[in-house]
Structure formats: C-alpha cells, structure tokens
Structure 1
Amino acid sequence: MKKLTLLMGYLLGCIQIILAQSFNNLPVITQKPPLHGRHWMAVTGKPLAATAGAMIFNKGGNAIDASCAMLAATCTMWDVLSWGGETQALIYNPKTKKVIAINALGVAPTGATADFFKNKGMKYPPEYGPLAAVTPGTPGGLMTILAEYGTMSLKDVLAPAMQMAEGYPIEAQTANQIERNKEMIKQWPYSKKVFLPHLGEKREAPDAGEVFVQKDLLETLKKLVETEQQALKKGKSRKDAIYAAYDRFYKGDIAKEIARGCKEQGGLITEQDLANWKVKIEEPTMTSYRGIDVYKLQPWTQGPAMLQTLNILENFDIKSMGYNSTRYIHTLYQAMNLAFADRDFYYGDPAFAPEEPIKGLLSKEYAKERSKLINFEMNDPKIGPGDPYPFEGKQNPYKDVLQKWGNLQSQLYTPGNPVLDEKYFERFQAGTTSVEAADKEGWVVSITPSGGWVPACIAGNTGVGLSQRMQSFVLDPKENPFNVVEPGKRPRVTLTPTLALKDGKPFLSFAKQAGDEQDQLLLQFFLNIVEFNMTVQEACEAPSFKTLQMYSSFGAHEKVPGGLVLNSAMPTWVRKDLTRMGYSLSYQERTSGPINAIWFDWQHGTFWGGSSNHGEDYGIGW
C-alpha cells in the first residue's frame, strides 16, 4: 500500500510538471493587451499620470523628464503617496552604461529615539499622524533626478501636476479611501480642509468624478517654479536653477511652514532636520542570475533580499519543477524565507553603525550554504537569520543576539488566518506606486515612490502630506540591531525598484506596489520571463503566491509562519499537497501585483510594456 501511495504521488507530481510546462506552448490571451512602443514607454500607477509622462515625451523630454512628471502627478493624485513621502529610484544611464541608485528616503527627525516612543507606551513608532513622519524625500528626489539627468525645466515637468492641483476629476479608489478614513482625517485641521470638502454632509469626502482642488499644494508648487524661473533670469544654469527651488523647499519659507505645521499637530520635524537632509546618489547592489545582472538598492530597502533569493535558487533547476507546481511553490517559499529572515535581522541604514554585512549576504557561497537548509518535504516555520560574516572574513558581533532571535520570534508573531484579518493584510500590502519609463536614447528609469498615503497628516498650509515611514523602525535591538530608530537615520523600507541588464544592455525595468510582498512577487515575475519564457504582459498577470513568514514592516510587525496566500485558481491537488507540507493556506482572486514593467526587445528595437490585471496601473507607449 505504501509503495502504491508513493507511486501515485510520483505520477501526480509528473502530471503537475507536464501541465505547468505546457503553459509555454499554449497561446495566452491576457486581460490587458501588452503595450508597444518604438520611441518611448511610460507606465505608472494611474492612467492620468501616464498621460502626464506622455505629455512630456511629446514635448521632447527624455525618460528622466517624463518619469519626474509621472512622479509629480501620482503624488498630486494621492496614489498611495503624496509630496511628503519618499522616492527610491534606479536609473540606467546610456552615456556611461551604468546603473545609478537614488536614495530620497527621509530620516527620523530630532527627538525620535527608541526611548521617546517607549515612554509613550509604544512597541513601535505609530502607523499614522505627525509622529509617524520622517522628513519629506520626494520633492528633493524629483528635483535631484531632474537636475542631474533630465533635459527640461522644473516648470515644464511640474505643469501637469500643477494643472491637477488646480482641480482634476478624482477617481473612486482614492475618493472612497478618504471617506473610509474621514474620522482619522478630522484629527488634523489641514488634512480636514483638503480632503473633506463636504463637512457635515452624509458623505464628506469628494464623490468619484468630482473635481478635487488642492489650493495649498498648488501654491507650494508655484513657489518652486517661481524660484527656478527667477534663478534662470539671473543667468543660472538649468541645473542650478532647479537646485535653487530645492533649497527653497528644504531651507526656505516652505520648510518653515512644514516644520511649523508639523509641530502644531504634535510632530517632531524641525527646520534644521529639513535643512540637514540630503538626497544620496549611490551605487546599487547587484547579483547575476543565469547571465542576467539584476540591480537593487542598498539594504536601507528590502531589495537585496530578492538578490539573495536568486542566489539561493540558482542552486536548483527551477524550470524543471514546472510553473506553480507544488515543488516550485515550496522551493521558492523556503528560499524566500531564508532571505527575508536575513532581511529582518541585518538590513538597515548603511550610513549608521553597525555596518551591514551586505558583501557576505550577497555572496554566492553564503547562498549555497543557506540553500542546504531547505527541507523539501515540509515547511520550516522556525527558520531564522544566517551568519554571513564569515563570508566576508569577519566575526559576527551579534552571535548572542542571533541565538536568542528564535525565542523572540516565537513571542512576536501573531498566528491565525492573515487574509481574514483585514487590518493585518491591509498593512502587509500597504502603500506605494511605481513609475517605469524608457526612451529611444537608452535612458531607463524604475521608481518606487511612497509615503503620505491617505489618511495623511498634511503639514500646515503647504498641501504636503507627511510620510508614515517611521513605523518601519524597531525599538528593540534584539529584533534588528541595524534598524533601531535614531535621529537622522533612514528606516529600512519595503520600497524596491528593479533593473536587469543582459549582455550589458537593458533587459527589464520593473517594480510594484504593496509593502512586504513587493520583492517576492517581483521575483516570481522575473522568473516567469527568464525561466518560463512568458511575455512581459503574461508575466504581469500570471498567478503568483505570497509568503507571510516574515515580519511585517508596518503596524505591529506581525508574522505568520507557514502563512501562504495562493491564487484562487490554484488546483485542488496543489492545495492538498501544500496543506500536508505544513502550510496555512489563504486565497485571493488576483495575486500578481500590480506589477509595472518594460521589456526591451533588442531584436526589433522596440519596447514592450506590461501592467498587472488589477488596480489602476497602466501606461502609454509610442
């Protein structure tokens, strides 16, 4: 009987693999058509924002100019971010043939210490309100990107966003989000003034399609443009004129009002915090997977976790397992858990001590050792961080903390069905949009901006919604000694744009929204193309799965060992196998993103654009 059971299991596995591999031989009709372009491509979180990018391209701008216009538009439309949020970008420069990393993440303000929050009875910094805010990063990020790599003026690039601030027809998604959160919004007078134009009525938020006006934000943007134009009249270069506007935001009257409005509402951001903050132009992190170079930001983001996972998976024949077979899902889940356990312990701001062991974490030898821990029969709910220090010739200074981390882990995680807990899952996939742009000159931009989502606390009479990124810090070094809150420090964030090069040329530009699930779904998207030969649109729509076996970067920082979210279309036999292997299954109808991406067709000299089949994300190509 036992032999018969084993034989049946083997045959069933073979059937799964055959069915999965046959996917490549079938014509696939996607729910959204792929985008095609020869001259440029613009894909982002809102159709109107993609139109803003198209307007700039049509005026002769390059992908840098267009991406800045899209970024400004998405901020103005509150597409899960606003002007007080943060911007993270990867840029391919065709002149140098190098990938550049942009770090425009805000920092913890003066007074934001672990003791400060502990004395308020908090286990983590708060999710919402002025105490959740790091310094605004997006305005500085946008202006730095434009000044250093763009061709157009700030006036031209901000024109679409300024028209929107004058008034644009608000879409249902944002309007309803405002209505759902109106009681919280009423705590903050400047937010109430902007978001609730119908105070006292049954519906106090704008209606879908109503013209949404942001007078204060328009004035702030006008000030930036006026400063730039005055500098140009004085003979300043385009670049210096943009930086003059930058200085007005961070050191002038705009900064003064942001600090005043923040303090009035109980926040910590000071004028000095704003003046001291700087955008960083950095080296990205990178690994090579089967001849393709994949680039991410440094470990102040979770991005290197995807690179670690690729290094681990390179030790296995992924393709032979079959797309979304039981063995494929299990192998990826275990590999991701190994990388995310390292993320949860070792990632933080490299500008602050201790120094992250990123060289060891990204070494192929370390990945090979980690891959040996995978149990191919059962999920390991207790997997923890490894020790990458020997792989860069050092001793681990946190061995004692690391040994106790497993005990801490069992105390912290919240068991149960996370999908049924709406608050948990809302936090887990919170925030963020993405901006992808490319042009015929070879410029490629991938941006994952975020922060200041509804319900946002607006800073005084600026129209600038403050970030909520402080919540990604921890207060206890036993959880992560690299990510304890400290004034001037950047929190370790989930935001993670991606670029991939093949044979030294752009291959893929891709990013997605939704918190902790970003890198795990970007990983699967990448494998869909590289291992399973899907087109970019097929890869964007293809059913993915999600591991919940990592600490959430938001709210109460819960985790669910064995938690696995599958697509509702997953076959019964796969569900049964995974349950037997120790997984706690939940389901979603759509699990692919939203991912936005551009694939470079060098054979024909064209672009293919893709966007997942849910959400409002989409683009335009020409």
Structure 2
Amino acid sequence: MAITGKPLAATAGAATFQKGGNAVDAACAMLAATCTMWDVLSWGGETQALIYNPKTKKVIAINAMGVAPAGATPEFFKGKGYNFPPEYGPLAATTPGTPGGLLHMLANYGTLSLEQVLGPAIEMAAGYPIDAQTANSIERGKEQIKQWPYSKKVFLTHPGEKREAPEAGEIFVQKDLLQTLTKLVEAEKTAIKQGKSRKDAIMAAYDRFYKGDIAREIVRGSQEQGGLFTMEDLAKWKPLEETPLSVDYKGIEVYKMQQWTQGPVLLQALNILENFDLKPMGYNSAKYIHTVYQAMNLAFADRDFYYGDSYAPPAEPMEGLLSKQYAKQRASVIQYDKNDPNIGPGDPYPFEGKKNPYLDLLKARGYEMDTSQRNFAPTHDLRNGSSMVDYQDRLWRGTTTVEAADEEGWVVSITPSGGWIPACIAGNTGVGMSQRMQSFVLDASLNPYNVVEPGKRPRVTLTPSLALKGGKPFVSFAVQGGDTQDQNLLQFFLNMVEFGMTVQQATEAANFNSNQLWLSLGGTKTEDRQPKPGQLLLNESTPEKVRDELKKLGYTLTFYDRTSGPINAIYFDWEHGSLWGGSSNHGEDYGIGW
C-alpha cells in the first residue's frame, strides 16, 4: 500500500514496490517525488518518520529536522524588529533535513539502490506536467518569488507575461534540481565501483550533499541572499534515530514523535479523554465536541509552554505530561457548562517528583488571551483574498504525508514539510530552503524550552502517527495542516476506535477545530500568533440543534464544507490478512494498493 499527497508520487511508490522494494523503499521514493513536485515541501525541508520494524517488533522514530544555523539568536531577530523569526526567505531556513532523513532510512531499512529509489524524482525533475494547485500557488506567490533570483529562475517560466507561473499541464523542468539529484546517484555509483557496500554507497551520497559540492553551493546561495548557513552547520547536522513517545488508550498503543514535534499533544489528549465515556455522547454531538475541544485546549496549552528540542536544555517534563495521573488532574478542571477561555499550562513536575523551575514565569505571564481578529488556520500561503479562501487553500495543500506498508510487515508514516511555495531556492541547486525557523520563539515567557539558538531544532507541528494493538500494527495515519494536525488525527483515531468507522469513513468524516492555542506558523508579531478562545470551526453539515447548544456554551462558530486537511491512513485487518487504505477527499492525496 502506497499513499501520499499527489497521484504521481503515489505511483512512484507503487512502482517501487513493483521493483521489489519494501515499504521503506516505497516511502523514500514517494518522499523524493513529492519534494520534486513542490507538494508544499522541497528538498531543503524537514522529515520526521515513524517506522515499524517487523524484525524487532518495535516502532522507531527518524528525526530529520534541521537546526537553526550559526548566528540565529533572539538578539539577531529582535534587532530586525521581529517578535518571531520570519515566515519566508533565507532567514526562515533551518538546515536541510529531508535529504539526510531519506538517505538514512533507505541505507538502514530499505533494500534498493538510491538510483532505483530516486528514479521517478529524477524523471520528474527532467520535466513533468505541473498540476494546477502548484502552478496557481506559484502565480499567487510570484511577487515574493521575484525577491530571490534562483527562485525566479526556476518558478517563473513566463517572465514579463500576465501569468508568469507555469500553466497547469505545462511541462515543468527543473534543470538545477535534476543536476543535484544526479550528483547524488553519481556519488553512489562511484562508491560502488570502489567496492563500498550498499549502505556506505548511499551514505557517500549523503556526504556529497552535506559536506561536498552540493553543500558548498547551498551555503553560497543562501549567504548571497542574506541567509546564515555555514558549511559547518551542514556538516555537523545529522539525522537521529529516537525512541518514540507512546501511551496506551484502551489497549491500543499509540506512538508519536518526541516533544520537538507537537505529537505528544495527541497522547496527552487521549490520556485526558480516557476519563470520559465518549461513545454514548454520540459522534459530533454538542457534548462530545465540547469535551474533546476542552481536552485539546488543555493539551495545547501544555504544548505551547513545555515542548521543545529534546537535545537542548532545559529538559522537557515529558514523564509528567504523559502520566495518567496528570491527565486525570487536567480532566478534572474541564467545565461542563461553558468554554473555559483561561485554560493555561498545568504543572506536570510534581508527577515526576520534581519542582517546576518556571512557576514564577507562569505566574508572571498569566493566562490572558487575546480576542483580536485574526485568521483561523496556520498560514502557509496568506496573501490576497478572504480568510476562508486562504483557509481552503491551506486545507487542500498544507504539509504532505507519506504512508506505506508491505507484506513483510514494514510500516512507514512520514509527515515531511518545509520549503513550500513561495520558497527561496539555495543557489543553483534547485533546493528550496525550509521556512521552519518561524516555529521558534524569541521570548522565554512564551516557551522557555523553544527559544531559538544555533544548532537547536524548533518545536514543529509535523506529526506522523502509528498505533499497535496486541503487539501488531493497527493503523498508520497522518495529515497536513499545521496546528490542526493533531486535532484532526485525534478525531480520526476516535472515529475508528470509539465510533467504529472504517479507515476511509474516518478520513472523510467531519471534524471540528479549535483556535484556542498559540499558532506555530504565520506572522512575525505576537498578535499574529495569540490564541482565540472559544472560536470553533465546524462542518457545514452540523445540525442546528448542535449549533445552538454550542453557542449556549460560549462558542463563536465558523462553518466550512471541509474541516480537516487530507488524512492518509492504512488499517491492518489481521482477521482477513489484508490492508485497508484510507485517503480523504479533501485534496489531491491518493493511494495505490496491490
């Protein structure tokens, strides 16, 4: 089973299976293809993956998140008038993570050569018929793209004309990226000729990207445009294998990435919701929506203050945050008769037997919530047009996902992102740089664990998911959509577990979204990011009775026909020995099973 954000990329995964590859090979091929198609990510972005290894019966996590480059300090950005690092351009870029993550996964857990896995992406770089979503995104972003000479060269294929971006269906050629990908394969071939092993040959390609001529051009191109990358930044960075975090929800083990992502939010929310009997409330009843909304707000309040890079001090209190006792305490504060606009971070430290070092900071900050108007969803592509048009665009685009599974039992769930259009391309490499620096904070009062510093990872929204039942894979799932990702994934999971939906029904089911959280993306001023308490996005199909009940609870309601990013998932039917793929009808995401 191969599922991802674009039909052509899903075909690349299916074709990789036909070559005899396993799920890791197929996932890497899909990742490479989506990067090449600019499916709201580029080769200079970031990758985070969960992999179930059937040989060890364990879930492992791949951390391929880039880091802040040299010179990226709070003082640097504040000196330029920012409250957060910028959304776009060379100063928004963390070091590239996706190439390293792909090469590490392929070398250690795949079976095919890099040449075989990159084959579809190389063909696409040589020219493929560009889809309307990407072409129109380029056109919308052309004024920003014109600021960056290498982006202008690649994206604006009709300079000076009324429409400067490619037309939908036009053969889109990326000569520089083709050369970069070809260099990676050349490095592998040279190493093979020298008698190197398959793994060492793939890592020779890794060295060429992060330490060789590709790295030199990335650094040169970034610095020319005002970026901060150095050769040392790229050479020192490496992907990491981690033990994922997990909780047990009614006998199902749910796995997420560590706290440098927002993934533990879903785990915290499940722990809180275990204290309620959800099924009798009814799917998307007012009582159910209210209960889940409050649980999500509690979890997100903790995310916004306590999550950060697990490799940089201070150490995050994850043991306390994920304890069942802490969740029970948090559940006890939920008010049943109204929305609580003053939900703030809890204190997990006593549940680790420790004292909270930031109590004074929490008290000084208070829980005041801004009530000014701002756009509901995370901004990937905010320019002209109404907020709902922009929201629709982000729902249909957003971060992409990759899901793959094979007959051996390998399962892969990836949520890659970064380098979305309008992207700043690093020199003559064709590699669009990440925009993930904006997820750092510059002020410790917002989150003392996520203050920017060189070599540190930002706390990101990207959040693949895997669940096991009885020690076997149960469901692999992920979604695009910034801060809404774990909101949508939580509801998808409950749709299956509590309400008995099939995997496809659960991907398409109407969700609701909270905006009572600090945005991780969009805007360089504090007021751009502040929470909007009580604002609730509902599906247009929500009955009047439910709407009225929610208004009485103090919610401000917004409606739309699609209230989730495209969810992709694979369900493992052990009774019948088959795989069930799910891909929602909310975007271009596509799955192929055989």
TM-score, structure 2 normalization = 0.96
| Correspondence for 2:553 | 581
Aligned-pair CA distance for 1:559: 1.9
Is 1:203 matched up with 2:170?
no
| Correspondence for 1:591 | 563
Is 1:279 matched up with 2:216?
no
Is 1:164 matched up with 2:124?
yes
Aligned-pair CA distance for 1:406: 2.4
Q: Distance in 2 between matches of 1:586 and 1:611?
A: 25
Aligned-pair CA distance for 1:416: 5.8
Match of 1:454 among 421, 428, 432: 421
| Correspondence for 2:383 | none
Q: Distance in 2 between matches of 1:457 and 1:319?
A: 47
| Correspondence for 2:521 | 554
Is 1:257 matched up with 2:229?
no
Q: Is the radius of gyration larger for structure 1 or structure 2?
A: 1
Identity %: 71
| Correspondence for 1:516 | 483
Secondary structure of 1:582's aligned partner: coil
Q: Is the 8 A contact 1:382 1:406 kept in 2?
A: no
- CA separation of 1:413/1:156 partners in 2, compared to 1, >3 Å: closer, same or farther? farther
| Correspondence for 1:366 | 326
Q: Which moved more, 1:586-595 or 1:358-367?
A: 586-595
| Correspondence for 1:531 | 498
Aligned-pair CA distance for 1:591: 1.4
| Correspondence for 1:77 | 37
Is 1:145 matched up with 2:105?
yes
Aligned-pair CA distance for 1:424: 8.1
| Correspondence for 1:11 | none
Match of 1:572 among 533, 539, 544: 544
Residues 418-457 of structure 1: matches in 2 within 5 Å?
Answer: 418=376, 421=387, 425=391, 431-457=398-424
- CA separation of 1:316/1:569 partners in 2, compared to 1, >3 Å: closer, same or farther? same
Aligned-pair CA distance for 1:427: 10
| Correspondence for 1:504 | 471
Q: Is the 8 A contact 1:471 1:553 kept in 2?
A: yes
Q: Distance in 2 between matches of 1:228 and 1:395?
A: 52
Q: Is the 8 A contact 1:258 1:462 kept in 2?
A: yes
Is 1:472 matched up with 2:430?
no
User: Per-residue CA shift, 1:458-477, capped at 9, x if unaligned?
Assistant: 00000000000000000000
Q: Distance in 2 between matches of 1:274 and 1:449?
A: 19
Aligned-pair CA distance for 1:277: 0.4
| Correspondence for 2:180 | 220
| Correspondence for 1:414 | 372
Q: Distance in 1 between matches of 2:392 and 2:14?
A: 32
Amino acid at match of 2:284: N
Q: Distance in 2 between matches of 1:136 and 1:229?
A: 23
Is 1:615 matched up with 2:587?
yes
| Correspondence for 2:309 | 349
Q: Is the 8 A contact 1:92 1:100 kept in 2?
A: yes
Aligned-pair CA distance for 1:428: 8.0
Aligned-pair CA distance for 1:425: 4.6
Aligned-pair CA distance for 1:405: 2.7
Is 1:104 matched up with 2:76?
no
| Correspondence for 1:240 | 200
Secondary structure of 2:529's aligned partner: coil
Amino acid at match of 1:437: A
Residues 59-138 of structure 1: matches in 2 within 5 Å?
Answer: 59-138=19-98
Secondary structure of 1:607's aligned partner: strand
Q: Is the 8 A contact 1:414 1:559 kept in 2?
A: no
Is 1:331 matched up with 2:291?
yes
Amino acid at match of 2:482: G
Aligned-pair CA distance for 1:423: 9.2
Q: Distance in 1 between matches of 2:579 and 2:565?
A: 21
Q: Distance in 2 between matches of 1:416 and 1:194?
A: 33
Q: Is the 8 A contact 1:427 1:515 kept in 2?
A: no
| Correspondence for 1:13 | none
Amino acid at match of 1:611: S
Q: Distance in 1 between matches of 2:312 and 2:163?
A: 47
CA RMSD of aligned residues (A): 1.3
Secondary structure of 1:599's aligned partner: strand
Q: Is the 8 A contact 2:33 2:121 kept in 1?
A: yes
Secondary structure of 2:557's aligned partner: strand
User: Per-residue CA shift, 1:117-165, capped at 9, x if unaligned?
Assistant: 0011111100000000000000000000000100010000000000000
Q: Is the 8 A contact 1:45 1:79 kept in 2?
A: yes
Aligned-pair CA distance for 1:588: 1.0
| Correspondence for 1:484 | 451
Secondary structure of 1:281's aligned partner: strand
Q: Distance in 1 between matches of 2:465 and 2:510?
A: 20
Secondary structure of 2:366's aligned partner: helix
Q: Distance in 1 between matches of 2:424 and 2:118?
A: 23
| Correspondence for 2:381 | none
Gaps of 5+ in 2: 378-385, 523-527
Q: Distance in 2 between matches of 1:527 and 1:516?
A: 18
Q: Is the 8 A contact 2:256 2:264 kept in 1?
A: yes
Match of 1:188 among 130, 148, 165: 148
Q: Is the 8 A contact 1:428 1:516 kept in 2?
A: no
Q: Distance in 2 between matches of 1:319 and 1:237?
A: 54
Q: Distance in 2 between matches of 1:417 and 1:138?
A: 29
Q: Is the 8 A contact 2:398 2:565 kept in 1?
A: no
Q: Distance in 1 between matches of 2:29 and 2:387?
A: 37
| Correspondence for 1:9 | none
Secondary structure of 1:209's aligned partner: coil
Amino acid at match of 1:234: Q
- CA separation of 1:237/1:279 partners in 2, compared to 1, >3 Å: closer, same or farther? same
